[in-house]
């Protein structure tokens, strides 16, 4: 990449010299020479701040069709009136003060960028997008023209070796996520600022990822690791695993739903005649996954006809079924993920280890295999607000939660049942090297799940106030404690 950038800089220097000497833009021969080295200037295809959104969409599409490295170097605001589809072995680089502004010149549309393989569910690889700044401009629509469940302004589905760097979007609407990636391997998202009403970064199933150096000010989740999801919010289901989320800031705002990070699990069963289903329910049938794609109005349907079609959607027994994927899994969740250097300014739940159970979606179908989320680590998490709110809100089974080198105020670990399953299994919590800033009593662990088993171990922690004391509320469960905190030392709560 450094070699390519040096070539491009040499081209710009040549271009400036030619323009200074002749008063004209560089000739096609100069551009061709640079293009031959792997670079394409989108301007040579007519991509321009002066052009219409329709023309710019066509021009940028022609440019990215060349593959290699595509550069937009001229500062300005470029109107875009439709989705541009990017393929394998392509780098798209936007220069300083380059903005892509969505305009509805031929009607509303969803994605600014989408990978080509998303349309056929075939993997694209080795794609990078650098310096993209999107102005949503109120064009905020989930139309599902390309892929049902894909709603990101910047969206990728079936992709390997993807890098998104220096992304900016400061006006998210209420319908679309900033960045959405589902069914991926080897994902790097670095240096992003996302503000607005919807999720900042929204991941579906995939493995090996990092989300680095992010600033968020979102009404909904800053980061969503949604292995399960609403039927219209992710196109496939499965595990999200082996990742790091680090050096991210959740900025303060006056209003909020959601969390800094939602960590969402789910499970479902084989289709059987007479089963009752609702919006977003999933079944396994004929070697495929199918989901109910309906209005979120609480309607419960009885399914008598087995879904067995190969693609798209069909209405059966008054139920709109959509075929989701051909590789069968019965569970989804998050495992082997570390959250590091997170700064929580906003007074909301920091992290929710989560099931949905409402009219939009029920993550767990009764009788399904229990999905155990696994090995979640929270390292150097700083709560910067003074409001009482949960650090962790847990309503799924999770095996081990490790919290280290972090700073708390009045922030509990709260276990809640949502009546999704009869047994939420044992959870082990390991807290060490943390600072407790609360000047008084705080409930460190609060449980309301009947028969829940929790093992709590704390070591090498510091309290800033002599008045600080930590308590636990067992709430019908059993909490076993091994703690260095004086109030909890050698106490077992039943």
Could you report the per-residue pLDDT of 197-221, keeping only the tens digit for each?
A: 999 999 999 999 999 999 999 999 9
Q: Are 112 and 136 in contact (CB under 8 A)?
A: no
Would residue 437 be called left, alpha or beta, if left means φ above 0 and alpha means ψ between -120 and 50 degrees? alpha
**Domain boundary assignment for the chain:** 1-37, 40-172, 199-255+333-358+369-494, 269-325
β-strands 269-270, 282-285: how paired? parallel
Q: Per-residue pLDDT for 493 more than 60?
A: no
Per the DSSP assignment, residues forming a β-bridge with 266 are 332
pLDDT band of residue 299 (cuts 50, 70, 90) is very high
* Listed residue (176, 53, 151, 146) closest to 104, CA to CA: 53
Whole-angstrom Cα distance, residue 305 to residue 235? 23
Residue in this structure with the two tokens 């710019």, named with its chain if needed: 56
Predicted confidence band at 73 (pLDDT cuts at 50, 70, 90)?
Answer: very high
With both helix axes pointing from N to C terminus, report the angle between 2-22 and 28-36 in degrees, rounded to the nearest 10.
Answer: 170
> What six digits make up the tokens of 173?
């609407």
> Residue 490 has what DSSP assignment?
T
Of the candidates 377, 476, 478, the residue with the CA atom closest to the CA atom of residue 431 = 377
Can you tell me whether residue 119 is helix, strand or coil? helix
CA distance 354 to 261: 10
pLDDT per position as a tens digit, 130-164: 999 999 999 999 999 999 999 999 999 999 999 99
Say if CB 348 and CB 256 are below 8 A apart.
yes
Cross-strand partners of 244: 210, 338
Rounded to 5 degrees, φ, ψ at 80 are -130, 130
Q: What is the pTM of this model?
A: 0.92
* Average pLDDT for 99-114: 97
Nearest Cα to Cα of residue 280 among 250, 235, 247, 241: 235
CB 333 within 8 A of CB 371: yes
What span, in angstroms and rounded, lies between the C-alpha atoms of 470 and 458?
11
What does the alpha-carbon distance between residue 24 and residue 283 come to, in Å, rounded to a whole number? 63
CATH classification of 199-255+333-358+369-494 is 2.60.40, yes or no? no
- pLDDT reported for residue 491: 65
Q: Are strands 351-354 and 266-267 parallel, antiparallel or unpaired?
A: unpaired
pLDDT at 128 over 50: yes
Beta strands (DSSP E) in 44-121 are: 68-72, 76-80, 84-86, 90-94, 98-102, 113-115
Residue 422 is predicted with a pLDDT of 81
């Amino acid at each position: 990449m450094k070699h390519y950038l040096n070539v491009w800089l040499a081209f710009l220097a040549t271009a400036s010299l030619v323009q200074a000497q002749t008063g004209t833009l560089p000739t096609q021969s100069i551009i061709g020479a640079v293009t031959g080295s792997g670079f394409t200037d989108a301007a040579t295809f007519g991509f321009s701040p002066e052009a219409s959104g329709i023309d710019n969409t066509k021009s940028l599409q022609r440019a990215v069709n060349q593959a290699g490295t595509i550069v937009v170097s001229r500062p300005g605001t470029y109107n875009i009136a439709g989705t541009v589809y990017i393929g394998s072995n392509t780098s798209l680089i936007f220069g300083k003060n380059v903005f892509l502004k969505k305009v509805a010149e031929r009607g509303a549309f969803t994605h600014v960028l989408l990978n080509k393989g998303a349309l056929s569910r075939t993997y694209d690889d080795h794609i990078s997008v650098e310096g993209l700044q999107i102005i949503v401009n109120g064009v905020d629509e989930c139309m599902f023209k390309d892929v049902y469940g894909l709603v990101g302004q910047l969206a990728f589905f079936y992709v390997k070796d993807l890098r998104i760097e220096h992304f900016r979007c400061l006006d998210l609407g209420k319908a679309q996520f900033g960045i959405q990636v589902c069914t991926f391997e080897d994902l790097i998202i670095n240096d992003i600022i996302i503000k607005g009403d919807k999720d900042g970064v929204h991941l579906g199933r995939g493995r090996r990822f990092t989300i680095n150096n992010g600033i968020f000010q979102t009404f909904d989740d800053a980061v969503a690791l949604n292995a399960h999801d609403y039927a219209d919010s992710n196109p496939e289901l499965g595990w999200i695993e082996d990742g790091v989320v680090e050096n991210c800031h959740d900025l303060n705002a006056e209003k909020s739903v959601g969390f800094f990070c939602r960590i969402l699990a789910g499970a479902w069963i084989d289709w059987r005649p007479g089963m009752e289903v609702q919006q977003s329910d999933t079944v396994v049938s004929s070697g495929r996954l199918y989901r109910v794609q309906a209005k979120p109005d609480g309607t419960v349907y009885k399914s008598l006809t087995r879904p067995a079609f190969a693609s798209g959607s069909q209405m059966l027994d008054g139920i709109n079924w959509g075929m989701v994927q051909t590789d069968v899994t019965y569970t989804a969740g998050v495992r082997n993920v570390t959250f590091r250097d997170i700064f929580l300014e906003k007074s909301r739940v920091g992290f929710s280890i989560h099931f949905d159970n409402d009219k939009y979606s029920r993550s767990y179908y009764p009788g399904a295999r229990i999905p155990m989320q696994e090995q979640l680590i929270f390292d150097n998490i700083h709560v910067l607000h003074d409001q009482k709110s949960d650090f962790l809100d847990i309503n799924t089974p999770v095996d081990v939660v490790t919290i280290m080198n972090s700073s708390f105020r009045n922030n509990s670990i709260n276990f809640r049942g949502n009546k999704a399953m009869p047994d939420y299994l044992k959870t082990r919590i390991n807290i060490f090297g943390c600072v407790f800033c609360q000047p008084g009593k705080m409930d460190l662990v609060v449980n309301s799940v009947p028969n829940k088993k929790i093992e709590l171990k704390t070591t090498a922690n510091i309290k800033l106030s002599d008045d600080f004391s930590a308590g636990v509320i067992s709430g019908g469960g059993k909490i076993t404690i091994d703690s260095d905190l004086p109030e909890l030392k050698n106490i077992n709560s039943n």
